[in-house]
Structure 1
Amino acid sequence: MKGLRSSMLPTMKVIHAPLEIAGQVGLICEFLRKLGIHSVGYNYYQTYLDYRKIINTDSFELAKILDAAIQEYDLFHFHNSYTFLEDRRDIEMITDAGKNIIMHHRGNDVRSRALAFKGKGYVNPYVNAECSLPDAEIDRNLRYFAKHASAAIVQDYELYGYVIDYYAKEGKPVYVLPRLIDVSAVQPAFKGSSHEPPLVVHAPTQRDFKGTAWIEEAVSRLRKEMPIRFLLVEGMSHAEALQLYREADIVIDQVLCGAYGNLSVEAMALGKPVICYIREDLVSRYPLDLPVVSANPDNLYDMLKMLVKDKEMREVRARLGRAYVERHHSASVVIQSLVKIYEGVWRNGGK
């Protein structure tokens, strides 16, 4: 890391826009600043999740700072296929000024319905991508950003498959940057001995995408056989939700998509065993020590029953999960990978 700090990177100024995604943008900016890299994030889409580590604004005010931003910043790190302006005039303004652009694809901006269901080497009969942009719009967006951006970033190999062909055609790199979490700020809450029935927690930010109906059905079925408690975490700030996750014995993330999300990372950091569907073709793309219990609608009931009955297994998975996050999702580790991406874009000048 010292080599990077002594290079040109600390003089580079990075702006993140135009919205926050699950607290990731704020964390990126915070940890870049810890390395001495000037970084700021703007969010024009405010929700009940109430993320605080970015500058909350609106689209009108964000558009007003565009000219000044082009003068001030060297690298524009955009998220979820959005930029400053709806018509994207800002993209050519930025590139004409000799500045670099990275597009960080986040999920429903690139997860086409057709490819989510069937792609190279996989079929996913469970996925529900109805919350994604229309396939034709995704195609247009990816063609555009692959042409104009210096590089793309995705958070895992599930998303990588949707974007790589577009960027490769333009000779642009696509980087996989894992989600990040400040592990020092999230202390594990391992569950000790308790006479209460196990508490199963699920946070359905997008019910159809996450498979909430299937999860509720599995829980309802299991409740007829053994005592368990169930909690849906909805409509509250991120900080409030984390407090509820701490009480969980088991956390269920998403059981349709085929990859784990932010909830899985947070739950593992808290020392909770996690259930989430991992698509079979993607298992080998994750680190070998991934402790997530994979379950889809066909076997969710069985996997949940297994964890509810086996306290020792829950304890083992909980500790493996915390260790996994410390190794692969710690912000201090992930940010080093991002700095290397920035360094490559800086040196190549977007070529």
Structure 2
Amino acid sequence: MKVLHVAPLNVAGVPYLIADMQRRFGVETTLVTLHRSTLTFPEDICLDLPLPRHKLAHWWRTHKGGQPKPIERYEPSTESHTPVHSPRNVFEDVYFRYDDRRRERAVEEAIERYNLDKFEVIHYDGGMDFFRDSRTAKRWKASGKKIVCHYLGSDLRVRGIVPEMDALSQLNLTNESDHLLLHRDIHYLYIPFDTRPYVACSGHSGPLRIVHSPTNRSMKGTAFILPVIEAVKKVRDVEFVLIENTRHEEVLRIKQTCDIAIEQIGNLGGTGYGRNSLETLAMGIPTITEMTPDYRAWLPKNPFVLASRDTLFDVLLRIIDHADLRAEYASQGRTWVQQYHSYESVHARLQELYCEHHIL
């Protein structure tokens, strides 16, 4: 089987992890990304298409869907609740048309140069084609290729489905539990994660270090976390480490020196955790997050230290004051990641879904 992964960005390195997992099991797999990640995650082929990264562009992409709202329930959705992607106004429509036109040559040359037409399955990580009119996906589907849409991060929360892609897709996947709220026919898949490169933290002298590494402050509830950290620092000897806009290699090096991690508070950008937490859990770092009651009941035997905006202060003091509790969470975390996120278990589930939806 030959699988081509197409992603706008290698978001948190997850598209690469999925492709790498499939390669591990003998699948001929290539990842093509449209834009280069600033966080230096590995990539196969990057078209390096221009992407506005100035403050106004970042604000527009983050806020055009409105301010994030807390996720209250965890349950399947109906078709009427599925957000649909479309230009918000005439200016965005004009820009989208212009952007599609200027990338035509780069995409066509890449398809020919790398013989992308040879692949049998096109796995769209993000649920978007090279072009917003889905022209390449339509051509590939007409030629008999199988189409998979895999929604990551805030793809459905902020952007929504592309109707043409949704109609072409034979299988919809997500690594985000709350996406099950937002699509009528979507399947959950754990993020594949290889723990072997990650070693448990060996400890250090000095105060305990608490790390928080948001890619988007508003989505991770950083505004809720910072005041609590300041209050904790007044009563305990701790050091707070805030990591932002940093190369992934450096992020891992810093995490390795920390004792406690905070993933997110507020359920504003998801319902629990992502690759960031998988890394800290694999390092044996107790990891604090917030989950909805429904999600907590659904997620099997999870090893997270649960907190909310109201309880974070007390939860931090309890973890800080009890080394034995930190050791217990550390042991549980790495074991849980190996059980549910290993390449072996995730690949087996993906193969099941491929078979059920006639991808294989």
Q: For residues 50-85 of structure 1, what are the alpha-carbon distances to aligned partners after superposition, in whole Å with 9 as ceiling and x for unaligned?
A: 112422223433343346756311100001232111
1:317 has 2:320 as partner:
no
Computed over aligned residues only, the root mean square deviation of the Cα atoms, in angstroms, reads: 1.9
Question: Partner of 1:298: helix, strand, or coil?
Answer: coil
Q: Following the alignment from structure 1 to structure 2, what is the Cα–Cα distance between the partners of residues 90 and 309?
A: 57
1:283 has 2:296 as partner:
yes
Q: For residues 211-248 of structure 1, what are the alpha-carbon distances to aligned partners after superposition, in whole Å with 9 as ceiling and x for unaligned?
A: 11111111001111111100011222111111111111
Q: Following the alignment from structure 2 to structure 1, what is the Cα–Cα distance between the partners of residues 128 and 344?
A: 26
Paired position in structure 2 for 1:32: 22
8 Å Cα contact 1:102-1:150 kept in structure 2: yes
**Aligned-partner residue type, residue 252 of structure 1:** I
Paired position in structure 1 for 2:304: 292
Q: Following the alignment from structure 2 to structure 1, what is the Cα–Cα distance between the partners of residues 349 and 343?
A: 10
**Aligned-partner residue type, residue 234 of structure 2:** K
Change (3 A) 1:63 1:343: farther
Q: Quick one: which of 168, 183, 198 aligns to 2:195?
A: 183
Paired position in structure 1 for 2:5: 16
Paired position in structure 2 for 1:259: 272
Q: Quick one: which of 128, 134, 147 aligns to 2:167?
A: 147
1:62 has 2:111 as partner:
no
1:273 has 2:286 as partner:
yes
Q: Quick one: which of 144, 149, 156 aligns to 1:110?
A: 156
Q: Following the alignment from structure 1 to structure 2, what is the Cα–Cα distance between the partners of residues 319 and 62?
A: 46
**Aligned-partner residue type, residue 262 of structure 1:** R
Q: Following the alignment from structure 1 to structure 2, what is the Cα–Cα distance between the partners of residues 148 and 44?
A: 20
Q: For residues 126-179 of structure 1, what are the alpha-carbon distances to aligned partners after superposition, in whole Å with 9 as ceiling and x for unaligned?
A: xxxxxx23xxxx2xx25443322001001143222211x2x3xxxxxx221101
8 Å Cα contact 2:146-2:359 kept in structure 1: no
8 Å Cα contact 2:128-2:162 kept in structure 1: no
Q: For residues 28-52 of structure 1, what are the alpha-carbon distances to aligned partners after superposition, in whole Å with 9 as ceiling and x for unaligned?
A: 2222122221100012221321112
Normalization by structure 1: what TM-score? 0.80
Paired position in structure 2 for 1:224: 234
**Aligned-partner residue type, residue 29 of structure 2:** S
8 Å Cα contact 1:30-1:53 kept in structure 2: no
**Aligned-partner residue type, residue 16 of structure 1:** H
Paired position in structure 2 for 1:8: none
Question: Partner of 2:165: helix, strand, or coil?
Answer: helix
Q: For residues 61-116 of structure 1, what are the alpha-carbon distances to aligned partners after superposition, in whole Å with 9 as ceiling and x for unaligned?
A: 334334675631110000123211122112211211111111101131212xxxxx
Q: Following the alignment from structure 2 to structure 1, what is the Cα–Cα distance between the partners of residues 165 and 129?
A: 11
Paired position in structure 2 for 1:5: none
Q: Following the alignment from structure 1 to structure 2, what is the Cα–Cα distance between the partners of residues 265 and 78?
A: 23
Q: Following the alignment from structure 1 to structure 2, what is the Cα–Cα distance between the partners of residues 96 and 256?
A: 44
| Shift in Å, 1:190 | 4.8
**Aligned-partner residue type, residue 117 of structure 2:** Q
Question: Partner of 2:155: helix, strand, or coil?
Answer: coil
Unmatched 5+ stretches in structure 1: 1-11, 112-131, 168-173
Q: For residues 180-224 of structure 1, what are the alpha-carbon distances to aligned partners after superposition, in whole Å with 9 as ceiling and x for unaligned?
A: 211111122253xx5522100000210010011111111001111
* Greater alpha carbon shift after TM alignment, 64-73 vs 255-264: 64-73
**Aligned-partner residue type, residue 298 of structure 1:** D
8 Å Cα contact 2:47-2:110 kept in structure 1: no
8 Å Cα contact 1:255-1:296 kept in structure 2: yes
Change (3 A) 1:86 1:66: farther
Paired position in structure 2 for 1:86: 132
Question: Partner of 1:335: helix, strand, or coil?
Answer: helix
Q: For residues 235-273 of structure 1, what are the alpha-carbon distances to aligned partners after superposition, in whole Å with 9 as ceiling and x for unaligned?
A: 221111111111110000111223212111111011100
**Aligned-partner residue type, residue 57 of structure 1:** L
8 Å Cα contact 1:77-1:103 kept in structure 2: yes
**Aligned-partner residue type, residue 284 of structure 2:** G
**Aligned-partner residue type, residue 184 of structure 1:** R
8 Å Cα contact 2:121-2:359 kept in structure 1: no
> Identity of counterpart residues, as a percentage?
25
Paired position in structure 2 for 1:7: none
Paired position in structure 1 for 2:179: 159
Q: Following the alignment from structure 1 to structure 2, what is the Cα–Cα distance between the partners of residues 321 and 190?
A: 16
1:125-140 matches, cutoff 5 A: 132-133=158-159, 138=160
